Amino acid sequence: MNDIRALDRRHLWHPYTQAQTAPEPLEILSGRGATLYGADGKEYLDLVSSWWVNLHGHAHPAIVRAISEQAARLEQVIFADFTHAPAVELAARLVEKFGRLPGDKLSRVFYSDDGSTAVEVALKASLQYWRNVEGAATRRTRIVAFEGAYHGDTFGAMAAGARSGFFDAFGPKLFDVEFLPFPATFDGDAEVEQKERAALDALERLIARRGAELAAAIVEPLVQGASGMRFCRPRFLSAFAERLTASGALLICDEVMTGFGRTGTLFASEQAALSPDFMTLSKGLTGGYLPLSVTACKESIYQAFLGPSFSRALAHGHSFTANPLGCAAALGSLALFESERSLERVAKIERLHRERMARLAKLPRVTSPRVLGAIASFDVKTEGPGYDAAVGRALKERFYSRGLLIRPMGSNVYLLPPYCITDEELHRAYDALEEAMVEPCAS
Ligand code: PMP
């Protein structure tokens, strides 16, 4: 065992890991394109974009240059009382991109550090919005979310994802959220209309019961990521948003995972013609190079925080709010969208996904196949929930040993590659998936 692994074992606490049973972490020395180079001399094809963050590939010279040039100029400055060009230019570029969405535009950008904090800001700002507009006695204090949603690991974000199963230890400390059924669907789903009707009926009932108490609903547009790449149809989301907005509640689109092309359009909200009051972005915002996030909101929301006294202001901020290096990386990443025609690359990935998933779907252990943009996903038939985790673990080890970073979530298997991936690389991943799905045992 080399020094790094020995020291890691002695001093590190890894995220979402049961260290007692987990295998040794793999040490990565460097990355290039879709490939990670391990200290074990092996190459790993990054088919999960390193937890859904990487867009254009690892160590892309253009983003590396943007970060290093910015670092030589200004690495960080307090963002209260001060401002700087990378933060302002990035906000202006993003607002331009939000122009693809209908209705009143998202025109204001609040920076924070990661997906969870972006969600905290959206939740806090939506609650304070109603207090600012209606006074301290406002009844609009309830948050609505979908069952199976995941919005992050901080307390507010956990409350909105309480049904994901990750947060049982904190249950009593999480504020009450109104959960609605999520009509998860897949190719050839005969029951989708029924599920969507049930979800919309549940929303109608909630509005009838508590419409005047709803502050905001938070949704992961089109794809619930962490609960197993669960898709819903754009038309469902449109109908949901229409009813919700008519009740007066605000709409928060959490595009932390779906943003920046993952679903085929720059934002998933575009496909359902959503007009969110807030949008949260992180992960791919910087191309996956540095932690940075955005909570964007409409002008009318921002205006409700103005006034002569501080009490109306949003009392929120982080040490690294609007970090110039993160903003420079994000500007570099957005420029690559144009120069590398990233959305066309996503369309090409989607075509290959569809071709290979059609083949994969014929295998008896594969169920609920689904493809959207750069995301392809299916579930493995198991003997029950107890077997899900075991199947996921066995598959993961099998893929890692073949040099493929494919990391199932329980019995859900998905590919979410960076946009620089080649056809040959993607075919290699599908060949391994097919092989794993024809063998009787997952390991
Ligand atoms: N929202 C969504 C939709 C996410 O998928 C995630 C992370 N997977 C988060 C929020 C939280 O982001 P972070 O891990 O950067 O805090």
With a 6 Å cutoff on the Cβ, whether 225 touches ligand 1 is yes
> Active-site positions?
16, 150, 254, 283
Residue entry with tokens 């502050």: 215
pLDDT digits (tens, 9 = 90+) for 391-424: 999 999 999 999 999 999 999 999 999 999 999 9
**CB-CB contact of 410 with 226 (8 Å):** no
Kindly report the average pLDDT of the chain as a whole number: 96
- State in Å: Cα 151 to ligand 1 middle: 5
- State in Å: Cα 261 to ligand 1 middle: 16
The number of the ligand 1 atom at minimal distance from the alpha carbon of 154 is 16
Q: What span, in angstroms and rounded, lies between the C-alpha atoms of 280 and 260?
A: 12
Q: Whose CA is nearest to atom 7 of ligand 1?
A: 152
With a 6 Å cutoff on the Cβ, whether 49 touches ligand 1 is no
With a 6 Å cutoff on the Cβ, whether 146 touches ligand 1 is no
For ligand 1, mutation pick of 16, 229, 230, 283 (most atoms within 8 Å of CB): 283
**CB-CB contact of 253 with 280 (8 Å):** yes
Q: What span, in angstroms and rounded, lies between the C-alpha atoms of 325 and 349?
A: 30
- pLDDT at position 386 is 73
- State in Å: Cα 219 to ligand 1 middle: 12
With a 6 Å cutoff on the Cβ, whether 119 touches ligand 1 is yes
- pLDDT at position 162 is 76
Lowest mean pLDDT among 36-45, 107-116, 165-174, 343-352: 165-174
pLDDT digits (tens, 9 = 90+) for 180-214: 999 999 999 999 999 999 999 999 999 999 999 99
**CB-CB contact of 119 with 152 (8 Å):** yes
With a 6 Å cutoff on the Cβ, whether 115 touches ligand 1 is yes
Indicate the helix (H) or strand (E) that contains 216: strand 214-219
With a 6 Å cutoff on the Cβ, whether 282 touches ligand 1 is yes
Q: What span, in angstroms and rounded, lies between the C-alpha atoms of 441 and 223?
A: 29
Is the model's pLDDT at 441 over the cut of 60? no
Q: What span, in angstroms and rounded, lies between the C-alpha atoms of 201 and 195?
A: 10
Percentage of the chain exceeding pLDDT 70 = 98
**CB-CB contact of 110 with 279 (8 Å):** no
Please list, residue by residue across 14-33, b when 16 or more beta carbons sit within 10 angstroms of its beta carbon and e when fewer do: eeeeeeeeeeeeeebeebeb
- pLDDT at position 1 is 54
Lowest mean pLDDT among 86-95, 166-175, 334-343: 166-175
- State in Å: Cα 116 to ligand 1 middle: 6
- State in Å: Cα 131 to ligand 1 middle: 27
- pLDDT at position 247 is 98
- pLDDT at position 306 is 98
Contacts of 295 (CB under 8 A, 6+ apart): 109, 110, 112, 118, 119, 121, 122, 125, 278, 279, 280
Q: Which two tokens stand for residue 7?
A: 């020291």
pLDDT digits (tens, 9 = 90+) for 239-287: 999 999 999 999 999 999 999 999 999 999 999 999 999 999 999 999 9
CA-only gyration radius of the chain, Å? 22
**CA–centroid distance for 273 within its chain:** 19
With a 6 Å cutoff on the Cβ, whether 150 touches ligand 1 is yes
Helical spans, DSSP H, in 176-287: 192-210, 234-246
Stretch 56-70: mean pLDDT, rounded?
98
Residue 164: pLDDT band with limits 50, 70, 90: low
**CB-CB contact of 232 with 222 (8 Å):** yes
The dihedral through the CA atoms of 301, 260, 225, 364 has a sign that is: positive
Q: Whose CA is nearest to atom 12 of ligand 1?
A: 115
Residue 443: pLDDT band with limits 50, 70, 90: very low
With a 6 Å cutoff on the Cβ, whether 337 touches ligand 1 is no
Is the model's pLDDT at 2 over the cut of 90? no
Measured in degrees and rounded to the nearest 5, phi and psi for residue 335 equal: -65, -35
- State in Å: Cα 153 to ligand 1 middle: 8
Residue 290 DSSP class: S
- pLDDT at position 442 is 45
Q: What span, in angstroms and rounded, lies between the C-alpha atoms of 412 and 366?
A: 10
The number of the ligand 1 atom at minimal distance from the alpha carbon of 52 is 8
Lowest mean pLDDT among 146-155, 160-169, 174-183: 160-169
pLDDT digits (tens, 9 = 90+) for 364-393: 999 999 999 999 999 999 887 778 889 999
Count of Cβ atoms closer than 10 Å to residue 309 Cβ: 6
